[in-house]
């Protein structure tokens, strides 16, 4: 590819138990890489997709990265530019780690950097959301925003994309475990009861509010006490094999908290330090192995960089 | 009264719409004053109660301030001390402004200061909660904690009294309007539906979380957008005459938000500055007057002092 550049958008842990549909943070390691360069004909073309085992469409109007990129290209009056993209998926699809969000962000960020749009990174958000929307069916920015901007972000309103980045203490590490089973986001949604008790709703709100301010002031013990999801986790846990056993292992090993990443099946343990996170990741992987379930693990602290240009 | 001292505990706005049962802040103006001094016989005696029109029991084992004071006296092994209290209620009872919490806090704070307990103020909280509990029937610290500690406080867990004080921007003023009608807390509770939609629960959690962090970072516009209660306000509004009309007046006059204080009937407009708050208080008072409803108003910014010794 002529004059090509390479960008990367990281995977994300969304929901974090207490912040369902409104909270997410970026991690290091998994994510999407896109190489973008001069194309041979008018318009955007996706040349190849690596690492997706043929599961993603090559047509840019149907591909998450393509739709996000096209949305930005249209907005800046550049949709006739001859552009070519090569997508390298460096993370599992359908894992609950924001795979489609990473694609959408990488797509729009690639165009942004390649054409030097001069836009503020935050202005890319609506385009990335549009891309992610074709994959997930819903307008949610809780994976897209942290993948793009880095750090921990909550989206106050997913319709207007009213969001805020919040400081998250650097020393906290996540042990992320992806049991290689598949959960469809729509199944993960359909198990959720449409109504909840006022009491649990109110306690969830308090925990969410407390978690973000505790993070802001590096009050780690309080953060740990807040990680107590009353609305979602118990409903979705049944979709993830050995969820309760894994949680028990992690909590016994001293995790600050343990819950489901996004719609699952990935789970995470939030840990006071890196060594603890590494121990828990190893422990959970070998536990699942004993149950004949293949699992991939990552250990990461918060990724404040978000999408970047190599 | 011999060797007497005088303390004051301020009124509070609890709930603030989005923080039902978990959020409160102290204001200047209304509150409870207690004079405590040497008694003539063993034990605690309430000598007189002013400003309550005979509505509060003089028996210390039944009086909110008395119960709170006795709880502390017992804890420090001083229940046989000869003490006398005179309570001056400088705020309306049953107004939704934390009248019983102010009594409880003033009671426990009076003993604390009089006997120089050496305790940290935060250690008084459980005793004040005990006092408030006999008035409200429930264990809630969302009025008691800000009245005692000052500022904005949220209670993550009302059972364990896990709380946190949060910075609240100084320039914001509240127009507080108390329409002189009476609502019993138990009526205000009984109108609440026991279940809510997951969607509203999730949006409420996001608004609450966003509100406290926006306050923390003095993001006033975001605070204003967060003041959007999806769970409680519409259910309780019917108990307050002309609630919707008052809200419209306040919002049209540029208020950041408008909602019910505690269980009502007091309402508050949160305002970008003092002049706006004064205008709104005046406007609402004259509006209610036109409807033949007597109202008292206060204008205050956040009271970071909490309970104090004169």
Report ipTM for this prediction: 0.83
Residue B73 has pLDDT above 80, yes or no: yes
Contact present, A64 and A108 (Cβ < 8 Å):
no
Say what the pLDDT of residue A183 is.
75
Whether residue B216 lies within 8 A of chain A, CB to CB, comes out as yes
Whether residue A221 lies within 8 A of chain B, CB to CB, comes out as no
A64 is known as an active-site residue: no
Residue A184 has pLDDT above 80, yes or no: no
Torsion of CA B298, B300, B304, B306, to 10 degrees: -10
Distance CA B154, CA B25 (A): 9
Work out the pLDDT band at B187, boundaries 50, 70, 90: confident
Say what the pLDDT of residue A249 is.
98
Environment class of B12 (CB within 10 Å of its CB; exposed 0-12, middle 13-18, buried 19+): buried
Say what the pLDDT of residue A182 is.
77
Residue A8 has pLDDT above 90, yes or no: yes
How many angstroms away from the CA of B204 is the closest CA of chain A? 7
Environment class of B152 (CB within 10 Å of its CB; exposed 0-12, middle 13-18, buried 19+): buried
Q: Contact B207/A155, CB-based, under 8 Å?
A: no
Over residues B143-171, the mean pLDDT reads: 94
Question: Tokens in use for B31?
Answer: 């509150």
Of the listed ranges A44-48, A163-167, B273-277, the one predicted with least confidence:
A163-167
As annotated, the active-site residues of B are 132, 185
Say what the pLDDT of residue A189 is.
79
Percent pLDDT > 90 in chain B is 88
Of the listed ranges A140-149, A194-203, A283-292, the one predicted with least confidence:
A194-203
Contact present, B180 and A134 (Cβ < 8 Å):
no
Distance CA B183, CA B173 (A): 25
Work out the pLDDT band at B135, boundaries 50, 70, 90: confident
As a whole number, the mean pLDDT across chain A is 94
Mutant choice from A213, A228, A235 vs B, greatest count of B C-beta within 10 A: A213
Whether residue A166 lies within 8 A of chain B, CB to CB, comes out as yes
Q: E strands within chain B?
A: 2-14, 23-38, 44-50, 83-90, 152-157, 162-166, 173-179, 195-197, 257-260, 267-271, 295-301, 308-309
Work out the pLDDT band at B277, boundaries 50, 70, 90: very high
Tens digits of residue pLDDT in B224-245: 999 999 899 999 998 999 999 9
Tens digits of residue pLDDT in B204-219: 999 999 999 999 999 9
How many angstroms away from the CA of B180 is the closest CA of chain A? 29
Say what the pLDDT of residue B138 is.
85
Say what the pLDDT of residue A279 is.
97
Question: Tokens in use for A302?
Answer: 């918060």
Distance CA A92, CA A55 (A): 11
Choice among A117, A123, A185, A278 that is catalytic: A185
Question: Tokens in use for B215?
Answer: 């306050």
Say what the pLDDT of residue B67 is.
97
Say what the pLDDT of residue B69 is.
98
Facing residue for A198 by CB, picked from B154, B193, B206: B193
As a whole number, the mean pLDDT across chain B is 94
Q: Which residues on B lie below 8 Å from A166 (Cβ)? A: 213
Say what the pLDDT of residue B14 is.
95
Residue B296 has pLDDT above 90, yes or no: yes
Residue B4 has pLDDT above 80, yes or no: yes
How many angstroms away from the CA of B219 is the closest CA of chain A? 10
Residue B188 has pLDDT above 80, yes or no: no
Percent pLDDT > 70 in chain B is 100
Tens digits of residue pLDDT in B83-101: 999 999 999 999 999 999 9
Residue B257 has pLDDT above 90, yes or no: yes
Mutant choice from B158, B213, B229 vs A, greatest count of A C-beta within 10 A: B213
Q: Contact B202/A166, CB-based, under 8 Å?
A: no
Tens digits of residue pLDDT in A117-140: 999 999 999 999 999 999 888 889
Facing residue for B213 by CB, picked from A164, A195, A201: A164
Say what the pLDDT of residue B1 is.
86
Among A190-204, B72-86, B190-204, name the most confident range.
B72-86
B residues 121-160 closer than 8 Å to A (CB): 154-157
* Type and span of the H or E element at B129: helix B125-136
Helix (H, G, I), strand (E, B), or coil: what is residue A256?
coil
Say what the pLDDT of residue B182 is.
77
Q: Contact A209/B19, CB-based, under 8 Å?
A: yes
Say what the pLDDT of residue B189 is.
79
Percent pLDDT > 70 in chain A is 100
Q: Which residues on A lie below 8 Å from B220 (Cβ)? A: none
């Amino acid at each position: 590819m002529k004059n090509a550049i390479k960008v990367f958008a990281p995977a994300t842990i969304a929901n974090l138990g207490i912040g369902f549909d409104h909270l997410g943070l970026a991690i290091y390691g998994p994510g999407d890489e896109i190489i973008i360069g001069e194309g041979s004909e008018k318009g955007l073309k996706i040349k190849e997709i690596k690492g997706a085992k043929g599961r993603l469409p090559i047509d840019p109007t149907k591909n998450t990265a393509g739709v996000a990129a096209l949305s930005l290209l249209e907005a800046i009056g550049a949709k006739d530019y001859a552009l070519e993209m090569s997508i390298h998926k460096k993370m599992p699809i359908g894992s609950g780690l924001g795979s489609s969000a990473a694609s959408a962000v990488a797509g729009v960020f690639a165009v942004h950097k390649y054409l030097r749009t001069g836009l503020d990174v935050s202005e890319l958000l609506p385009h990335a959301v549009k891309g992610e929307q074709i994959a997930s069916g819903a307008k949610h920015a809780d994976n897209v925003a942290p993948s793009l901007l880095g750090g921990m972000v909550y989206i106050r309103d997913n319709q207007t994309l009213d969001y805020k980045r919040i400081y998250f203490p650097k020393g906290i590490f996540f042990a992320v475990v992806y049991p290689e089973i598949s959960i469809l986001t729509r199944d993960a949604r359909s198990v959720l009861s449409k109504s909840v008790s006022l009491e649990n709703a109110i306690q969830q709100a308090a925990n969410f509010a407390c978690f973000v301010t505790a993070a802001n002031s590096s009050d780690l013990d309080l953060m740990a006490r807040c990680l107590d999801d009353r609305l979602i986790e118990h409903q979705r846990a049944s979709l993830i094999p050995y969820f309760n056993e894994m949680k028990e292992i992690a909590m016994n090993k001293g995790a600050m908290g343990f819950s489901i990443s996004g719609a699952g099946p990935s789970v995470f343990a939030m840990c006071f330090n890196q060594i603890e996170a590494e121990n828990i990741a190893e422990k959970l992987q070998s536990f699942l192995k004993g149950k004949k379930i293949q699992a991939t693990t990552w250990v990461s602290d918060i990724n404040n960089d978000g999408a970047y240009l190599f």
